Structure 1
Amino acid sequence: MRRVATPWTTAQIPDQTGRTVLVTGATSGLGRETAKELAARGARVVLAVRDTAKGQRVAAGLAGTTEVRQLDLTDLASVRAFADSWAQQDERARTIDVVVANAGIMMVPFARTADGFESQVGTNHLGHHALVCQLLPHLAPDGRVVVVSSLVHKTGKVDLADLNWERRAYSASGAYAQSKLANLLFALELQRRLHASGSLQRVLAAHPGWAATSLQGRSGNAIADRLTGVGNRFIAQSAAAGAQPSLAAATADLPGGSFLGPSGPGEVRGAPRLVGRTALASDLGLAADLWAVSAQLTGVDALERAAAR
């Protein structure tokens, strides 16, 4: 591993031979670019995707060792099936060096997941909570989890009493911001639990700034989607550039709890660097409370003994 130099570039990614990296949402955008770079450095990269046919097409264009596994974060039964299948491999194959919790949806019209969760918090946060907790027994002793958040977390608020928008008037942007704040709170609480247990495993977070990906333009609002398209063309950086904070979080020598984003003005674009987070995103009490709610909703918890110490 290497410390983050300024400016950090993908040329600083060390050889990944012998390491296993699992990337969710690896068929497009940030996930595909993350998988591409790590596979090219020798990692065994597992593309955990909802559309396996698309995943196979992406994998065919990547250098190195890749495999495609079906995972639908909007369905807890699919998450459990993925984790159960993973556990059935031999010890060497099931040991994971890095989990990149990347998959997500952004500012979409109201919908519910198979388990009745609001779709954005269900996909971006609750699905990843369930997945990572179930994969923790297979994380290497020095392994790490990378959680992909967003600049938009700065406008987010987590309503623990109405996480799934059952009583509030729905806001696509508000739901997205809540889910991205939840990503950072999840990373914060998981890192706390790992540290309390004496583990050397690390949890880091990253955000891509404004990166042009297929996530944008799906709000159902023609004007908003048109404006987003203009921003993607003239302001946003590429998906490859947007993936650099995730890649730095996955490979650089950084402590658990680090948060990386672009170094340019407003963290919109530029080479990765350590960035700050809001007071809410640093609230240990809120992080613990969100964990409790998430564990109750998903039926999945981890490191309970460590958390109780």
Structure 2
Amino acid sequence: MSRSPEELAGVADVDCTGQQALVTGSTSGIGRDAALALGRLGADVIVHGRDETAGEAVVDEFDGLDADGRFVKADFASVDGVRELAETVRTDTDGVDILVNNAGGLFREGRLSDLGVEYTFHVNHLSPFLLTTALLGHLADDARIVTTASAAHQGTALDLERVQDVDRHASWWAYSHSKLANILFASELARRLDATERAITSNSIHPGAIPGSGFSRFLPRPLPQLMGGLSAVPGVTTVADGAAELLFPAVSPRTADISGRYFVDQQPTTPSPAARDRDNARRLWEFSADVLDIEEPLEGAAT
């Protein structure tokens, strides 16, 4: 019998009753499993995605749980869509205790978003940056923020010029670069929050290579078919395993005071040198605010 994500994360006895969680990209894959696990632990959960039918199907699974599930639709390729999501959360909740930045993907086509930046970078990094910073004033004093990154960041250097055109577009580079941005964002956010003396944690995770997550649909053929066949191979990471990676820094008592770290296999792990470069993190933060045309969040804590 397969184990649940909360069992795999060692948090099955954690009580999240009264807490509000927002899990982006939670209509399928590890986001869906993490959202439902949080519901079983007692948290009220905002389920996010682009597919309303899939979102409502996840919400229906909250029936019988001592928690509420609600779907909010938002397109992460749209700045207005992300801002509307943040506004809905601020209006409809008293605060957010758990924010899981999980939405994202790998996109084959080289194209620029409405902001004039590479599409993958926009969806995977700029949108969670915008959502998180828009909710900073709405986060609980001891809130936890978890961002889905990837071991794919290894071997990639931060290149903020390359994301402003698609002349040299390569889908795997764009994905790997966005995952590097995820780690840099999570660690810079942790540093700035710490400087403001807020007890909010910010960490990133590698969920594993998961055949059943739906991620393989973004890959070129025949990789989706090959990945699908791996789901029956013993020892391959499952969707539940990936959801457990999200839950561990989100609710475990063992991670309550850990911030600014990158987790692999539920262990703080050292990412690549580029992902540990504080100058990279600062430049990315400032660049993101500039592209989004917003005031630099937590600017006073930059030093």
Question: What secondary structure sits across from 1:173 in the alignment?
Answer: helix
Letter paired with 2:85? F
Structure 2 match to 1:298 = 292
**1:119 is matched with which residue?**
119
Residue type at the aligned position of 1:110: G
Q: Partner letter of residue 170 of structure 1?
A: H
Contact 1:18–1:43 (CA<8 Å) still a contact in 2?
yes
Q: How many residues align?
A: 288
- Of 71, 76, 89, the residue aligned with 2:74 is 71
In the alignment, the residues of structure 1 paired with residue 240 and residue 111 of structure 2 have an alpha-carbon distance, to the nearest angstrom, of 30
Partner Cα separation in structure 1 for residue 70 and residue 54 of structure 2: 12
Q: CA deviation at 1:34?
A: 0.5
Aligned counterpart for 1:256 among listed residues 255, 259, 263: 259
The alignment's C-alpha RMSD in Å is 1.9
Question: Over residues 81-122 of structure 1, what are the superposed CA-to-partner deviations in whole Å (9 max), with x where a residue is unaligned?
Answer: 222233334xxx230001000011125332333433322111
Deviation of the 1:196 alpha carbon? 1.3
Query: Could you tell me how far apart the structure 2 residues matched to 1:178 and 1:13 are?
Result: 37
Q: Distance in 1 between matches of 2:109 and 2:137?
A: 36
Shift of 1:47: 0.8
- Alpha-carbon separation, structure 2, partners of 1:43 and 1:70: 20
1:20-49 Cα deviation digits (max 9, x unpaired)? 110000000010010010000100011122
286-295 or 228-237, which moves further after superposition? 228-237
Counterpart of 1:79 in structure 2: which amino acid? V
TM-fit CA distance, 1:162:
2.1
Does 1:84 pair with 2:79? no
* Partners of 1:86 and 1:247 in 2: CA distance: 21
- CA distances 1:137-193 after superposition (whole Å, capped 9, x unpaired): 1000111110110111113222112224444x1111100000000000001111111
Partner of 1:16: 16
Q: Is the 8 A contact 1:246 1:260 kept in 2?
A: no
Q: Is 2:45–2:68's contact at 8 Å kept on the other side of the alignment?
A: yes
- Secondary structure of the corresponding residue to residue 45 of structure 2: strand
* C-alpha separation in 2, matches of 1:218 and 1:88: 34
Q: Report what 2:103 is aligned to.
A: 103
Q: Is the 8 A contact 2:112 2:165 kept in 1?
A: no
SS of residue paired to 2:128? helix
| Contact kept in structure 2, 1:217 and 1:229, CA below 8 Å | no
- Residue 197 of structure 1 aligns with an amino acid whose one-letter code is T
CA distance in 2, matches of 1:140, 1:11: 20
Contact (CA 8 Å) 1:21, 1:45: kept in 2 or not? Answer: yes
Query: Alpha-carbon deviation of 1:78?
Result: 0.7
* Contact 1:8-1:273 at 8 Å conserved across structures: no
Q: 1:113 & 1:192 partners in 2: Cα distance?
A: 29
2:4 corresponds to which residue? none
AA aligned to 2:51 is D
CA distance, structure 2, for counterparts of residue 173 and residue 121 of structure 1: 12
The residue number in structure 2 matching 1:266 is none
Q: State how far apart, in whole Å, the 2-side matches of 1:56 and 1:159 are.
A: 39
Quote the offset at 1:246 in angstroms: 0.7
Distance 1:115 1:61 in 2: 36
User: Given that residues 204 and 261 in structure 2 are in contact (C-alpha distance below 8 angstroms), is that contact kept between their aligned partners in structure 1?
Assistant: yes
Residue equivalent to 1:273: 267
Task: Tell me the equivalent position of 2:171.
Answer: 172
Q: How much does 1:251 deviate?
A: 0.8
Aligned identity (percent) is 30
- Structure 1: which amino acid aligns with 2:90? A
SS of 1:47's equivalent in the other structure is: strand
Q: Secondary structure at the match of 1:82?
A: helix
Structure 1: distance between partners of 2:217 and 2:75: 22
Give the residue type in structure 2 aligned to 1:80: R
- Give the one of 270, 279, 283 matched to 1:285: 279
Stretches of structure 1 lacking an aligned partner (at least 5 in a row): 1-6, 263-271
**Aligned partners of 1:165, 1:112: CA distance in 2, in Å?**
7
Contact (CA 8 Å) 2:9, 2:247: kept in 1 or not? no
Distance 2:76 2:110 in 1: 17
Seen in structure 2, the aligned counterparts of structure 1 residues 175 and 207 have a Cα distance that, compared at 3 Å, is same
Judge conservation of contact 2:9–2:245 (CA < 8 Å) in 1: no
